[in-house]
Chains A and B, each alone.
Chain A
Amino acid sequence: MKYIPVVIFAMLIWSNAISAQQNRDPWSNGELMEPSVLASRISQGKANNMLILAVGPDALIKGSADIGEAHEQSNLKKLKNYLKNVPKDKEVVIYCGCCPFDRCPNVRPAFRALKEMGFKNPKLLNLPKNIKANWLDKNYPSN
């Protein structure tokens, strides 16, 4: 019985931690796309029905459009303009690749913008280290 306050306290901390995590990352695990999946779609010519947008320092992935670093307001505006007339059910994949997600200033504002604009199928390319380690070094299709 005397453990009940401890358990409640622990649960409170746990739920806080979870909500903090959710606040930080606007994407779910299901919205992460593995680089190998995107690479094979590009190689097989099956990426034509999707939009690949670079929201970091450079558009290194083959066929991707260079929006610019999304932490800058002007580039975020550019992203929204770019997507203005795109159907909301279009598969849109964004990537940055400067650094691990916890330090990347670009993926969160860009992904949030996709959600706010009502895109039903937004994806974030899962580059846990950077575009070099998780894409270029694997010889995936590059510009």
Chain B
Amino acid sequence: MKKIFLFFLIILFTENLFAQNNEIKAGNPAPEIALPAPDGQIITLSSLKGKLVLIDFWASWCPPCVKEQPELNALYEKQSKNVKAGKFEILGVSIDKNKENWEKAIKRFKIPWPQVSDLKFWKSPVTSDYGIEDLPFNVIVDEQGIIVAINLHGKKLEDFIDHYLDK
């Protein structure tokens, strides 16, 4: 009887640990992302380990996300030295459905950072993995793949990246 009790206690404890690790919050590991770029090549979040990564969840159909792209482009340009030095990267994860619209938006905003999407709209598993309820949404992940900030925009985002990379 004692053994059974212990068994359930262990299961409960490990489940709890697992659930905590899956939660999207600072200090937890960022769930892996392995999705195709427009050319079909799979890009993974783990391949960007060693860099500070801003994961930008967006879509061409989302007006505030589209509005934010020039700001992100300015941020990327400002951090170009760190990008070249392999210290910073943006990973654009699109919740689009239509490939043509997605590619058009990338071209229109001259987005130079890697872009991925499974083109499944809100059915994309990445929206559940990251608990996304609304767009735009972003997560900043450190060199070890640990979440360090969630959903920063505008000046707050710029200041966070500046401060982090100046360390």
Contacts and interface: CB of A to CB of B under 8 A. Distances in A.
Q: Do A and B come from one complex?
A: yes
B70 interface: no
Given A58-B121, A99-B134, 8 more contacts: A56-B61, A57-B59, A57-B98, A129-B133, A130-B133, A131-B121, A132-B132, A136-B122
Interface of A: 56-58, 60, 69, 97-100, 103, 105, 129-133, 136, 142
B134 A100 contact: yes
Interface of B: 59, 61-64, 96-98, 121-123, 127, 132-135
A60 B123 contact: yes
B134 A57 contact: no
Q: Is the interface of B mostly helix, strand, loop or mixed?
A: loop
Contacts of B62: 98-99, 103
A132 B59 CA distance: 15
16 contacts: A57-B121, A58-B97, A58-B121, A69-B61, A97-B122, A98-B62, A100-B134, A103-B62, A129-B133, A130-B134, A131-B121, A131-B122, A132-B122, A132-B123, A132-B132, A142-B123
Nearest to A97: B122
Contacts of B64: 103
Contacts of A103: 62-64
B59 to A, nearest CB: 7
Nearest to B135: A99
Contacts of A129: 133-134
Contacts of B133: 129-130, 132-133
Contact of B97 (A57, A100, A133): A57
A56 to B, nearest CB: 7
Nearest to B122: A132
A9 to B, nearest CB: 34
Nearest to A68: B98
B20 to A, nearest CB: 21
A129 B97 CA distance: 18
Contact of B61 (A57, A100, A136, A142): A57
Contacts of B132: 132
A124 B98 CA distance: 23
- Name which of B64, B121, B123, B134 has the most chain A CB atoms within 10 A of its CB: B121
